[in-house]
Amino acid sequence: MNQIKTSVLIVNTNQKDYIKNCLKSLKSVYDNTDFEIIIVDNDSTDGSPEFVGENYPDVKLIRTKNKGFCAANNLGAKNAEGEYLILLNPDTKVFKGSLEELVRNLDGKEKTISVPKILLYDGQSINTVGIINHFTGLGFTKGLGENIDKYTEQEYMSSISGACFCIRMQDFLDLGGLDEQFFLYMDDAEFSWRLKSKGYKVVYVPNAVICHDYTLRVPAEKIYYLEIGRYIILKKYFTWKEFLLFLPSLFTTELFTFGYSILKGRSGIKFKLKAIKEGLTLNVEKDNVDRKDLVRLLDYKIPNKQLNSTFFDIIFFKIGNFIYFMNYKSILIIWNL
C-alpha cells in the first residue's frame, strides 16, 4: 500500500454541480496514487453526498452537521493521512500539475505555505493571488480582474486565499487549524494574520493554476459575516491600547462599512447592526503575539479595483486612504518602527 503524501480537502454544502466539476478536474489531472481526496459534507440536501458516494467510492466522504466552514475543514484534517494538506473550495477546477507544484515548493522549506495563481472560472482573468490584509481588519483580493499574464514570477506574498492553499499537515495542526469562531468568510484573513504573527512565509507559485467561480459582490447577509469576522480579528490580535491608537482609522472604517450597508437598504443595516452588537459582546481569546511587528506587516491602503461606485471611489481613495496613511505612519513613529 502506497503511503499517502497529499490530502486534498474539500468542504461542501449543497454544491452538487460544483463538486461534479471539481472532482472531474481532480481525477483528470492526478495520475499518481500517493494522494487522497476528502470531502466533508455539511449536511447537504441537494444530493451531492449521494453523488460522491455513487460515482467516486475512493473519495473519503465525511458527513456532518453544518457547524461552519472552519469546523468542517478541521474535522477533515483530523481524518487526513497525508504529509501535506491542500484546502480547496468546491467551486474550483484544477490544472494538471498544479497541486503537485504547490507540494513541491514546500519541500525543504520550514514554516512555509504555498498558494497558486487563482483565475476566474472562465480562465480569462485573475481572481486572486492572495489577500490584502488591512490593519483595520478589512480584506481584499489581490490581482482581481487583472490579466492572466501578470504575476508570473515566484515570490513571497503577504497572505493566502481560502480558495486554495497548501500547508504541511503538522504545521496546520500546530497552528490550531482554522478558527472555528468563523462560520463563513474572513477565516482566510484571520489565518493570514496568524501566519504573519507566527513567522510563517507564503510562497506564491505562478505555475500552479486553478480556476475559481468568484464574483465581487456583497449582499446584505454577507455584510454580517464579513463584519463579525473583522471584529473577531481585531479583538483577537489587538488590545485596547492598539484600539486607541487606531481610533481614527477604525472610526473611518465604521463609517464606510455602515455607509455601504445603508446602500443595501433595511436588510443591510439590520445585518450591520447585528454584527456590531455581537462583535461588542463576543468573548474572543487574545492571541499572544508581537503586535508591533504584526502591524508593521499589514497593509494600510484600500485597493481601488475593489470598489466600483463613484461615491466610494472619491471617499475611499481620497479621504479614507489619507486617514489610513497618516494614522498608520504616526503609529509606526510612536513605536519607533
pTM above 0.85, yes or no: yes
Residue 305 pLDDT more than 70? Answer: no
pLDDT at 252 (0 to 100): 94
Residue 124 pLDDT more than 80? Answer: yes
- Please state the φ and ψ torsions of residue 126, each to the nearest 5 degrees: -80, 140
Q: What's at 301, amino acid-wise?
A: K
Residue 24 Cα distances to 37, 52, 90, 94, 202, angstroms = 12, 11, 11, 9, 28
Does residue 163 contact residue 156 with C-beta atoms inside 8 Å?
no
Place of cell 491602503: 301
pLDDT at 29 (0 to 100): 76
pLDDT at 316 (0 to 100): 66
Share of the chain above pLDDT 90, in %: 82
Q: How confident is residue 216, by pLDDT bands cut at 50, 70 and 90?
A: confident
Q: How confident is residue 1, by pLDDT bands cut at 50, 70 and 90?
A: very low
Residue 310 pLDDT more than 70? Answer: no
For the CA atoms of 44, 49, 51, 52, the dihedral, rounded to the nearest 10 degrees, stands at: 140
Residue 313 pLDDT more than 80? Answer: no
Q: Closest by alpha carbon to 118, among 70, 69, 165, 153?
A: 165
Residue-wise pLDDT tens digits, 43-83: 999 999 999 999 999 999 999 999 999 999 999 999 999 99
pLDDT at 107 (0 to 100): 86
DSSP line for 71-131: HHHHHHHHT---SEEEEE-TTEEE-TTHHHHHHHTTTT-SSEEEEEEEEETTSSSEEESSE
Mean pLDDT of the chain: 92
User: What average pLDDT score do residues 310-329 get?
Assistant: 81
Give the single-character DSSP code of 12: E
Which of 173-177, 190-194, 309-313 shows the lowest mean pLDDT across its residues? 309-313
pLDDT at 31 (0 to 100): 60
Q: Which domains does the chain have, with CATH numbers?
A: 6-212 (3.90.550.10), 220-334 (no CATH)
Which of 7-16, 23-32, 136-145, 206-215 shows the lowest mean pLDDT across its residues? 23-32
Q: Dihedral of CA 197/138/151/167: which sign?
A: positive
Residue 292 pLDDT more than 80? Answer: yes
